């Protein structure tokens, strides 16, 4: 090695244990009094003392204590002296640590020395091994209180407590199924709205969506819609459906309500009408014309009870509504209880509601008839009833000519035609029952022979006339009637024209110049007012079980004409003024036969003995 000074030598930053140091062993003076030069390995440099000589001095090396740690006087230490080895957690003291005022620590210890030399007796916790950080609802900790693991808690980890318990899956199903009417034993809640909505469908029927659907029921609305659709397509036997608004003659189908024809005339002209055929006039407020003659077969024209349809013959130029066929009996039925029958020819010639003479039957049951034609409004060989709420007759030749009609009922007869005839036939003994609740209008009526009339109120401008030209017996019953306007006019002659019932008041009840026949009042009550009944010619007027009230004399005789009689039996006559019961008849040959009369008249006849013979019996 060249002779060089230490400062001139290169610096070694890392010293191995086998590296050599030069030292002067002062204990060996063999070379000189100052000592002997020697070498020493780094590994043999184990110090027996480390001295901290200044405040804040530190060492980063591990110190193995084999002797003393000396803190020299004048140096200060903070709170503690920390001694550790590189193994980390434990401090191994081989012997002891000595210092002024320090206590001795022996063996394995977790205690610490404070700066004042006292021992820190706090039980500091030794940390556990690291775990993965997370948020968990269930943790596990050790005896030191340190968390050792974490996981998600389940209901099985929660202790039971009152009113805070959990349920099993089976319990949950029971709870969900439980309602006010279900105790929980049902598989599902069959009473909830949600359940019901899922089990009922309002979807309209169609084969693809409904077929195989066994767990869902149709709603009432869906069922009703289907029923209605079936009703419109269900075939109805022997029925032609007619609809002027939606029908189509080209596509109409017999017996199919969903495919109506447009007109009655088209069906009548293109199909054979057999007995029992029905024309169903659909809708309401529509007009159905019959301009052609109907085929000779029993057939019906009907509507719904509330329908206001009109059956119109105004464009029909035929003589009769149905073809004339001898020896073929048939019935035409028109049932339109809120509907109308019309024949408006403006007074001109039009069709008759008539058929094949004695083989034809017409049944009418309608709300109103409007007739303005010079033809016969109704003529029938019917044994069926005619029911009409209102007959509005502007003009016609005859009304209600009926051969064997059993019953005719017109609730409101309005006549604007002078001399319109309510005329049952006079050639048969069978008497038609005709009921008319009210009669009004500016025209007048002629009540024919061989009929039985029940008449309500009359309010016509011209007097209603009772015709007896055929000489048949007729019965007229007044139904508590009020008669105003033209009143009642008796015919010139009659064969047992019988009046009964009650007339509450009458403006006119006269017989202008009756010349023959018998006029009977039986069970009859009336207030004649100022009216008077006169006999003339050979006519006879009789009263039986009657009650008559009048202002003046109710009975009279045409002067200077021979014949004529009044017969009164068990009746009462009350006069307002002081007048005789009968007046007139001077110079004639009249008789007044009385049996059981009660009257306040001043006398029975003012011409008794001079032209009138009065015969009075106790019993008659």
Query: How many CB atoms are located within 10 Å of the residue 439 CB?
Result: 26
Task: Please report which confidence band the pLDDT of residue 326 belongs to, taking 50, 70 and 90 as the band edges.
Answer: low
Report the distance separating Cα 119 and Cα 123, nearest Å.
12
Three-class SS of residue 548? strand
Q: What is the pLDDT of residues 276-287, one digit of tens each?
A: 999 999 999 999
Q: Is residue 465 part of a domain?
A: no
Q: Is residue 393 part of a domain?
A: no
Print the domain residue range for 86: 66-123
Q: Count Cβ neighbours within 10 Å for each residue of 352-385 and write b for 16 or more, e otherwise.
A: bbbbbeeebbbbbbbbbbbbbbebbbbbbbbebe
Cβ atoms of 452 and 433 closer than 8 Å? yes
Report the distance separating Cα 234 and Cα 239, nearest Å.
11
Pairing, β 401-402 against β 420-422: unpaired
Q: What is the pLDDT of residues 457-515, one digit of tens each?
A: 888 887 787 766 555 678 889 999 998 888 888 777 777 788 999 999 888 887 766 56
Residue 299 has pLDDT above 60, yes or no: yes
192 vs 375, higher pLDDT: 375
Q: Is residue 43 part of a domain?
A: no
Q: What is the pLDDT of residues 572-607, one digit of tens each?
A: 999 999 999 988 877 777 788 888 889 999 998 888
Q: Is residue 401 part of a domain?
A: no
Can you tell me the mean pLDDT for 198-224? 75
Q: Is residue 586 part of a domain?
A: yes
Determine the pLDDT at residue 369.
83
Among candidate residues 123, 139, 162, the one where a domain is terminated: 123
Residue 619 has pLDDT above 60, yes or no: no
Residue 87 has pLDDT above 60, yes or no: no
Q: Is residue 162 part of a domain?
A: no
Q: Total domain count for the chain? A: 2
Which residues are CB-contacts of 13 (< 8 A; sequence separation ≥ 6)? none
Mean pLDDT of the residues in the chain: 75
Residue 149 has pLDDT above 70, yes or no: yes
Residue 560 has pLDDT above 60, yes or no: no
Which residues are CB-contacts of 618 (< 8 A; sequence separation ≥ 6)? 595, 596
Among candidate residues 123, 154, 169, the one where a domain is terminated: 123
Q: Exposed, middle or buried, 489 (CB in 10 Å: 0-12/13-18/19+)?
A: middle
Q: Is residue 603 part of a domain?
A: yes
Determine the pLDDT at residue 86.
37
Q: Is residue 578 part of a domain?
A: yes
């Amino acid at each position: 090695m060249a002779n060089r000074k230490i400062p001139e030598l290169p610096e070694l930053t890392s010293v191995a244990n086998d590296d050599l140091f030069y030292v002067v062993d002062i204990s060996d003076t063999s070379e000189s009094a100052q000592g002997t030069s020697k070498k020493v390995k780094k590994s043999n440099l184990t110090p027996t003392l480390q001295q901290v000589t200044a405040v804040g001095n530190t060492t980063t090396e591990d110190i193995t204590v084999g002797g003393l740690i000396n803190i020299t006087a004048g140096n200060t230490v903070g709170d503690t002296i920390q001694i550790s080895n590189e193994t980390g957690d434990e401090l191994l003291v081989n012997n002891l640590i000595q210092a002024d005022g320090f206590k001795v620590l022996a063996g394995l210890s977790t205690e610490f020395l404070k700066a004042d030399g006292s021992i820190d007796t706090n039980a500091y916790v030794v940390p556990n091994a690291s775990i993965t950080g997370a948020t968990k609802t269930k943790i596990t900790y050790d005896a030191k209180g340190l968390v050792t693991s974490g996981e998600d808690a389940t209901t099985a980890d929660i202790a039971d407590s009152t009113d805070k318990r959990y349920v099993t899956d089976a319990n949950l199903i029971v709870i969900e199924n439980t309602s006010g009417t279900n105790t929980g034993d049902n598989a599902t809640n069959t009473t909830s709205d949600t359940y019901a909505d899922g089990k009922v469908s309002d979807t309209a029927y169609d084969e693809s969506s409904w077929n195989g659907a066994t767990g869902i029921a149709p709603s009432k609305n869906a069922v009703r819609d289907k029923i209605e659709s079936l009703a419109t397509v269900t075939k109805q036997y022997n029925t032609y459906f007619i609809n002027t608004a939606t029908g189509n003659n080209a596509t109409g189908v017999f017996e199919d309500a969903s495919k109506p024809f447009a007109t009655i005339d088209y069906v009548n002209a293109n199909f054979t009408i057999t007995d029992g055929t029905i024309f169903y006039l659909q809708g309401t407020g529509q007009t159905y014309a019959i301009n052609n003659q109907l085929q000779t077969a029993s057939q019906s024209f009907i509507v719904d009870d509330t329908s206001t349809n009109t059956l119109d013959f105004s464009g029909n130029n035929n003589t009769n509504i149905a073809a004339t066929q001898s020896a073929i009996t048939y019935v035409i039925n028109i049932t339109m209880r809120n509907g109308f029958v019309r024949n408006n020819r403006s007074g001109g010639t039009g069709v008759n509601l008539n058929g094949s003479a004695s083989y034809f039957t017409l049944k009418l049951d309608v709300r109103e008839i409007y007739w303005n034609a010079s033809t016969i409004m109704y003529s029938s060989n019917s044994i069926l009833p005619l029911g009409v709420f209102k007959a509005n007759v502007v003009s016609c030749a005859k009304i209600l000519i009926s051969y064997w009609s059993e019953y005719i009922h017109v609730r409101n007869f309005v006549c604007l035609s002078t001399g319109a005839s309510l005329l049952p036939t006079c050639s048969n003994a069978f008497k038609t029952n005709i009921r008319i609740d009210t009669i009004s209008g500016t025209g007048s009526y002629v009540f024919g022979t061989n009929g039985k009339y029940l008449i309500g109120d009359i309010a016509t401008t011209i007097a209603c006339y009772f015709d007896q030209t055929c000489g048949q017996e007729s019965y007229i019953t007044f139904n508590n009637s009020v008669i105003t306007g033209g009143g009642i006019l008796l015919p010139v002659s009659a064969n047992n024209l019988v009046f009964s019932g009650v007339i509450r008041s009458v403006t006119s009840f006269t017989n202008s110049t009756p010349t023959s026949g018998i006029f009977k009042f039986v069970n009859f009550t009336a207030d004649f007012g100022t009216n008077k009944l006169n006999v003339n010619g050979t006519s006879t007027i009789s009263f039986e079980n009657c009650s008559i009230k009048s202002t003046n004399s109710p009975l009279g005789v045409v002067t200077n004409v021979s014949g004529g009689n009044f017969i009164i039996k068990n009746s009462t006559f009350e006069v307002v003024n002081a007048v005789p019961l009968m007046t007139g008849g001077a110079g004639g040959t009249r008789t007044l036969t009385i049996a059981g009369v009660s009257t306040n008249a001043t006398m029975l006849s003012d011409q008794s003995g001079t032209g009138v013979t009065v015969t009075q019996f106790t019993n008659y």
